[in-house]
Amino acid sequence: MATLIYCPTDTAVLVVGLRREDGLLLFPTDAGDVPGIVRKINTSLPINPQLIDMAVERTGMPRIEISVWQEFECTIVLPDGEPATVYAARVIQTAHVIPDDVKTLPDILRGMPQNRNRVAYMKAMQVFSGALTESTKAVDLDEVHRHFKGLTEKSKNRD
């Protein structure tokens, strides 16, 4: 597993999920065209502490503990043409006080223009859905056909 150390761009976008008591994840978003918490950062300092500071500042939760997915980092283009790096994190504990202006990730995606930036947020949604922890395997289509043909033949033999 790689550890995020430094941000490759001058701007970081933090997509942080606040879990409500019922389990629903809600995401604070700054006003503007870019969903998430958007801040200029110091590229000479490690990024993880800066992401924590961004979450604390935006949510108003003084003792927030977040877990940043170290395997996820995407670059988007801001409206001014400058690049920004998107990071995904989740709050470890249940958020007791959730800001009023939070949205679900599907709502954020529906409100975005259908451009390349949207892909980064779709990837983030996959991360929040557990894509990094799932064990997956790519298989050949012929192998799938053989598998199902074998299952069909076994069920015929039983009858």
Pairwise CA distance, residues 41 & 46, whole Å: 10
Alpha-carbon distance of 28 to 69, in angstroms, equals 17
pLDDT tens, position by position, 85-106: 999 999 887 656 777 788 999 9
Query: Is the pLDDT confidence value at 1 over 60?
Result: no
Burial 9-36 (b: 16+ CB within 10 A, else e): bebbbbbbbbbeeeeebbbbbbeeebbb
Q: What is the pLDDT of residues 36-82, one digit of tens each?
A: 999 999 999 999 999 999 998 888 877 778 899 999 999 999 999 99
Tokens 């979450």 -> residue: 55
Compute the residue count for the chain. Answer: 159
Q: Are 128 and 88 in contact (CB under 8 A)?
A: yes
What is the average pLDDT score of the chain? 85
Query: pLDDT tens digits, residue range 120-153?
Result: 999 999 999 887 665 555 667 777 778 778 777 7
Q: Hey, what are 83's tokens?
A: 């690049």
The span from the CA of 100 to the CA of 102, in Å, is 6
What are the chain's domains? 11-158 (3.90.79.10)
Question: Is the CB of residue 72 less than 8 Å from the CB of residue 89?
Answer: no
Share of the chain above pLDDT 90, in %: 48
